[in-house]
Amino acid sequence: MWTFFSFIILERGMCMIYTVTMNPSLDYIVQLETFKEGKLNRSIFEQIDVGGKGINVSIALKHLGRISTPLGYLAGFTGDEIERRVSSHGLIPDFIKLEHGESRINIKMKHEIETEINASGPTVEKDDIEKLYVKLEHLTDGDVLILSGSMAAGVDQNFYADVMKFLAGRKIRIIVDAGGSVLKTVLPYCPYLIKPNQKELSEIFNIDVLENQMEEYACKLVSMGAQNVLVSLGDQGALLVNHKVYRCSAPSGEVINSVGAGDSMVAAFLTSKLNGEDDQTALEKSVAMGSATAFSYGIADQEAVDLLYKEMVK
């Protein structure tokens, strides 16, 4: 039951935030001038970043002044390095260590086009899933849970829906950012926010959703249970649908690295709402941070976001 105190906690943002990344990674980013298949290619720039959508959200939240606890699974020496890098951002992760396998290394190759090779990662056993439920049991009214990214090997595609069912009855805002088939399973549990793109809208409705139909189908997701639907429109900006429809144009700039842009949008939207701002402002700040991240290497910091936001609304 809602109490006056729990309402104040939720509205003023005095809450615990948890992110779940089922299959974290190290992302090896390689920049090439040209790429010749079957030949020796030399890079002109390399960078290793910690990867995983939930982790990206946690880092983005930290840059916006919000502390969160990253949850999920790690394995092997790559898992140790992921944990070290997450901690270096000033976060205190609470990952579960798997006994077998290695956390994955993904390759992001950039030249005229961007090519990604995502590894499979370790297998999560039933006992490991139970360990995560033990951690989730501690969530209380007013907390926020962000379920983001693909499932690890061994985890059912209904897992996010199962988590929402497990937490049903608690006043927890649950955000889900995943593939279309996964998003479809969580709609009956009324997620606070989902963030489908055009491809995922098509997967949910099993049709080819056109650009000019995205608003229509986002509205349908609200009627199916989603409280807020945030849809990125690429260089056209984004739209937010709940009981109303809000739009925001994208700022101009050179896209350097799109990895983490969508996760930055989620973090900025949540931060804005926890700060008590209205839906249009939350959408604008979401677009500002997503764009600022796309225009830089890594997750954008508060200064870059503020500068871009001021340009957008002046």
Spatial CA neighbour of 279 closest among 188, 216, 197, 193 = 193
**Strand locations in 179-221 (E):** 193-194
SS3 content of the chain, % helix, strand, coil (to 5): 40, 20, 40
Burial label, 251 (beta-carbon count in 10 A; 0-12, 13-18, 19+): middle
User: CA-to-CA distance for 73 and 22, rounded, in angstroms?
Assistant: 6
- Residue 206 region, left (φ>0) first, then alpha (ψ -120 to 50), else beta? left
CB 233 within 8 A of CB 214: yes
User: CA-to-CA distance for 98 and 26, rounded, in angstroms?
Assistant: 16
User: CA-to-CA distance for 266 and 258, rounded, in angstroms?
Assistant: 14
User: CA-to-CA distance for 137 and 133, rounded, in angstroms?
Assistant: 6
User: CA-to-CA distance for 258 and 294, rounded, in angstroms?
Assistant: 5
User: CA-to-CA distance for 277 and 240, rounded, in angstroms?
Assistant: 14
Burial label, 31 (beta-carbon count in 10 A; 0-12, 13-18, 19+): middle
The answer to whether residue 263 is catalytic is yes
Active-site choice (94, 263, 279, 306): 263
Q: Which DSSP letter does residue 13 get?
A: T
User: CA-to-CA distance for 59 and 49, rounded, in angstroms?
Assistant: 12
Which element (helix H / strand E) includes 51?
strand 43-51
Residues designated as active site: 263
